[in-house]
Structures are given as structure tokens and as C-alpha cells.
Amino acid sequence: MSEQSRKTIEVRGFLHLDAAFRKKFGTIPLIMDLEEPITGIALAEKLEIPWDEIEVIFVNGFVQELDYVIHPGDRVAFLPPGCPGPYRIALGFYGKNQDNEANFKIKKKE
Amino acid sequence: MNKFIRIDMTAMKVTTEEVPEKYAGLGGRALTSNFVANEVKPTCHALGKNNKIIFAPGLLSGTAAPNSGRISVGAKSPLTGGIKESNAGGTFSQKMAKMGIKALVIEGMPADDKYHIIKIDMNGVTIEDAPAEIIGGCGNYKAIEVLSAKYGEKVGIALAGPAGEHRLPSANISFKDPEGNMRSAGRGGLGAVLGSKKVKALVIDETGAVAVPIADPEKFRAASKVFAKALLDHPVAGKGLAAYGTDVLVNILNEAGGLPAKNFTAGRIDHNDNISGETMNATITERGGEGKVSHGCHAGCIIRCSQWYTDKQGKYITSGFEYETIWGLGADAGIKDLDDIAYIDREMDDIGIDSIETAVAVACAMEGGLLPWGDGKAVLEAVKGIAVPTPLGRIIGSGTAVVGKVCGLFRVPVVKDQAIPAYDPRPVKGIGLTYATTPMGADHTAGYCISGNILKVGADIDPLKKDGQIEYSRAMQIGTASVDSTGMCLFVYFGIADNPGGYQALIDMINSQYGISLTATDVDKLGESVLKVERAFNKAAGFTNAHDRLPEFFEYEPCPPHNVVWDFTPEEIDEVYNF
């Protein structure tokens, strides 16, 4: 890991967040400065991504809960609800998303 | 549905019978697999006179039930040598159901080399000579135009393309969709079986047919409404598939390190942005013209995961541009240009060849030095050669296992000679168990659906670990066999897995259509029975547990970035079918 990447994280957004990131930041992945560890929730807030638009996050290729702690040098991706097929089970979403507002249960409509 | 139609291509004779009692409660895959098990000699040659091919709508096809228009096709597979059910969208299934046809069976084979059209309408079934202009290399797009002009714009068509005429083991059966494009019963070479029987196409015209009878229409409507709501309320319908198609999975699997790359030597690529569903959506939107980001492959589809992908001028190139095809050509074969991949996809549809098998075969051919890595233009020319067929076209059209042998490779990603699709079994272990054990040969759609409490099997899954994976694969395969028998698209999965009311509504629709009272347990038992029948056929055809194994290289080649290997023991793998 280079000295530079020790102080930054690499962030991606999938589904509609892909277009939103490109519009807001001009590119994907977004390389963000990060000196201290940060939770997924805090990072989402920093990037102005509503919690209910994230089912799980990926950190270094592993599916994690939203409050997972991200460290400098990590590769992060925000995944909104919308992953099809059985892959949400196969990739381990169900063990990580149960306390999440966007846990893929049927959303209550206003 | 009370008609069971047999077309004997040896005697050129059609027989319409009442549905045999043993098939009365079956539809889709349950019917095709039971029929093949009952009537096809397991040791027969798949392209010989003793194989039979059966077309069957699902239990709910032809009704107003959302997403119920899948057609199942069954036979002994020339690719795997085992039993095969392959299904597709299009218009054929609903027309069959409306005409009261439970099954169309084609058996025997003619002595001469003339190709035929089987015409089905309310007056009966006739066997006609195929128009000369659609034989001998004519593409499927053109053939559908010719047949629609001859028999009527609204007819349904099932078609063997040039690959089917050449009886190549990867040949698919193409079904005309509502706009005259194609949906494919892709896997297992059933187009070659149709070609071997000298049937170029089946044409179906339901003019004069009445609505499918429903025993309790009011109850059916209520259940259908609940079912539709379960699908539409779910984020996959609105946010996932409808906007990005199945190609939404490129970024997800890539991030998980489970996107097989460069003939399964890695699990992640750097050019995912070039080929992702998000990029496809942006490209179609930006190009405008004939492009559609969302499109249904059959009437009544409310998920609409298909799309029309266009060229730079906004002109249609291909539709139903699926993740597995884009993965195979884009990641496994390293083609970085989505337009190149789209033109190859179109060509594969036009030739009538399975896009998964062919893409994986292409990647193997690249490793074997037959094609340059990542060269989309060279692949397009090679694929065009399948229609001729050139020697290279014949090799690629014979599937991944053949390419591996021709090139002297050990890294040949197949199970039962069928190519492993777009999810690497080392870092996504549950799917690996399904590849290994399904009677279909490596097939991601064999473990796609679940009927019970999803949290019972899903809560503790870690994709890199073994825990819970056997139960996961077993439950998924049983649930899939059940849903495949209803005529439902497998994408109803999320509406029934995440919403118990959705699953009950599916059962209620079947019950109110037929005036029966199935329970969830009955539906699970149906799935189990289908798998047991299929497995028994394969056993009689010569398959043993030793065929339920992944290729050895997965055991000793770690897959980066997670650097894991396939580590299930034979005894553990055999537990999947312990039910």
C-alpha cells in the first residue's frame, strides 16, 4: 500500500448511486481523504446518501453492515436495494442487513 | 389444457390425445422432466431417433397471472448427455395454453434431409415443407420475418437457427417475442435436437381460441392482485432489474470478487465500468432512438428486465442483453467494448446458439490460442463462422468442453460438459454446490428460487465459508424446480422469498385456476419430486456422484482477490441431494 493510499479510501456507488456519484464528483471511484477510521453510516452521511438507499456496503470485497468501521486504504462500495436473484443470500446480505432500514423487506408505502 | 399432441416425424403423423392422467397436475419443467423420464431411453443418442422433445407451458401460463408466460422445453441434452429443461419467454407458451394444449411432443426423425415447419392452429396440426429461403444459414431475425409474413404477424414461433441445423451441442431454440425479436431456451443444445428431427420451426396461431378457464375467477383475481403487488413493491422491480437489467450484477459480483475473469483465473476486472448495467442504462438513455432501458419479454411481464440496446445512431442492435452474456464476453474473454459485445450477442441470437456456452467457449479458445484475448472483432467473425460452419465455428459451437479438449487445456470450466456461468464457485460457494449437483449441468438458474423461510437458510451465509451452503443449495434447487413448473419467470423469486404473502398468492392462483387446494408443502414436494425424477434419468444414462464435481483446477488455483479455493469434500457435495 502506498503512503498516499494509507490516507485515502476508494469509494464506489452502484445502481442509481453510480450516476449520482458521477454527477456530483465527476468520476468513479471517488478517492477520498481519510485520516481516521469512520463507520459506513458516517461515510454515507458525509456523502449525503440516505440510509434507506443502502442495503449493504462492500469493504475490501466483503459484504458488511452499515455501521462497519472503514479504515484508510479500504475499498468501499455502497449498494442500494435492487440486487436481483438469489445472490443477496449467496453473497451474505441476509446476515448483514437485518437491522437496516433498506433490508429488502417490503417497504411500507405512505 | 386438455390436449396432448404428438408429432411423429418418422411417419409424418400427428396424434392429438387427452392428457394422460399422470400428467394432469403437472406443467412446465415438472411435465417435461417427467415425460422425458417416462418416454426417452436414457442411453439413447440425443440426436438419434429415440430422443423426444417436448414443449410445455406452465401451470399458470395463458392466464392474467403476472410473469407467467415461460415455455419449458425438455429432451435428453446433446451437450450434457443428461436430462434437460430449458425455458424462455416470448409468446409461444401463452398461445399454447389458450389453445388448451398441455404439451407438444416431437418424436422420431424423417429419413430424408428436408426441413419442415409444424403449424399449429385451432384446426389442428400440419407438417409442411420449410420455405427454402430460411434454410442453410439464414439468420433467425430474417427467418422470423419470413415466417411471420407467411403465417401472420401475430403468430408465435419456436425456431432452430443455423446452429440447430448443424446440430451443434450449443444450439438453442429461439422464441419470437411480442415485437418479433427473440428469447432463447438457451442451455443444453435443444436446438440441435429440433434440427435432428428436421424441424426448422413450430408456428402457432391461436386465432379463435378462448380464454383459459379459471375455476374460481374472483379468487384468482384477488390472488393475482396480491402477487403483482408483492413483485411491484419490491425494490428489485423498480430500482434494480427494470432500470439496469440483469447486467446490474457486473459491478456487484466484481466488487465481491466473484466475477470470473480471463477464463476463471481471477474474480475481479478493472474495466467493469465499460460493461456494467449502470453504463448500459446510461448508454441507452444517451443514445435515444429505438433504445429502451426496460422491456418485457412476454405479455404480462411486470418486472421488465429486458432492454433494447442500440448503436451510436440509436438503432436497435439486440435485446435481452443479459448479465451472463456480457460477463462471458466482457470479463471472461476480456472484451472491453460494450458495443462489440452487443454485436456478438445479436449474432449469437441470429445463429441460435447459447450465449453462455459460447462466451465461455470463446474464453477457453483464447486461452488455447485460437483467438486473441479481448478481441471483440475477431470473436464476432469466429461466431459468424458458426453459421457456415467453419472449422473454428464448429469447434466453438460444440461448447466449452470440446474447446478445452481441442486446445489441450486443464482449466475447462464445465460440469457435466456444460459451461459454468458468471459466478465463481470459489468465493461464492453456495452457487458452486448447485453447479456441481444439479441434473442440468452447471446452471445458475437451477438454484434460483426458494419457497420457505429464507432466513432459515440465508441468515448465516458467508460466501467464502462452507457453513449453511449445503442447505442453501438444496433449498434453492427445490424451490426452483417448483417455480419452473408454474410457468413463472424465476425473477418472481424476490416477491415470494421476501414476502410470505406473495408465495401464498402464487399457490392461491394455482388453486383457484384448477379448483384444487395445494399447500406450500405440496408445492415443495413437487419440486423435490422433479429433482428426483431428473436425477434418476441421469443415473440410468450413466451418471454417478462422481459427475457431481467441479473441475479439479478450482481445488488448487486460488481465485484473487480473496485467494480462496473450492474445498467441499465429495461427501459434503453428495449431502445436497440427501432429501
B263-287 pLDDT per residue, tens: 999 999 999 999 999 999 999 999 9
Helix (H) or strand (E) holding B528: helix B520-540
Same domain? B296 vs B362 = yes
The cell for B480 is 426452483
Residue A106 has pLDDT above 60, yes or no: no
Range of the domain at B397: 245-419
Would you say residue B563 lies in a domain?
yes
Average pLDDT, integer, range A74-91: 90
Which residue in chain A is spatially nearest to B431 when comparing CA positions? A90
B476, β-bridge pairs: none
Average pLDDT, integer, range A33-56: 93
Mean pLDDT value across chain B: 95
Specify the 3-state DSSP secondary structure of B334. Answer: coil
Which residue in chain A is spatially nearest to B432 when comparing CA positions? A90
Helix (H) or strand (E) holding B54: strand B53-57
For cell 409468446, the residue is B91
Residue A110 has pLDDT above 60, yes or no: no
Would you say residue B237 lies in a domain?
no
Q: Please list, in sequence order, all residues whose beta carbon lies within 8 angstroms of the beta carbon of residue A102, skipping any fewer than 6 positions away.
A: A51, A52, A53, A54, A55, A80, A81, B235
Residues of B in contact with A58 (CB under 8 A): 255-256
The span from the CA of A65 to the CA of A35, in Å, is: 21
Same domain? B199 vs B269 = no
Same domain? B394 vs B526 = no
Would you say residue A48 lies in a domain?
yes
Which ipTM score applies to this complex? 0.93
How far lies B192's CA from each of B55, B163, B345, B552, in Å? 15, 7, 19, 29
Q: How far is CA A38 from the centre of its chain?
A: 12
Residue A109 has pLDDT above 50, yes or no: no
Same domain? B390 vs B469 = no
Counting residues of chain A whose pLDDT is more than 90, the rounded percentage is 65
Q: Is A16 on the interface with B (CB under 8 A)?
A: yes
For the whole model, what pTM was predicted?
A: 0.96
Same domain? B100 vs B71 = yes
Residues of B in contact with A90 (CB under 8 A): 423, 428, 430-431, 461, 463, 472
Number of domains in chain B: 3
Which has more confidence, A100 or B55?
B55
Contact A94 B458 (CB under 8 A): yes
Contact A104 B235 (CB under 8 A): yes
- For β-strands B124-129 and B116-121, DSSP reports them as antiparallel
Q: Look up the CATH number of the domain holding residue A70.
A: 3.10.20.30
Torsion angles phi and psi, residue B18, rounded to 5: -70, 155
Helix (H) or strand (E) holding B203: strand B199-204
Counting residues of chain B whose pLDDT is more than 70, the rounded percentage is 98
Same domain? B325 vs B461 = no
Question: According to the model, what pLDDT value does residue B110 have?
Answer: 97
Can you list the residues of chain B whose pLDDT is less than 70? 238, 451-459
Nearest to B239 among A81, A90, A92 (CB): A81
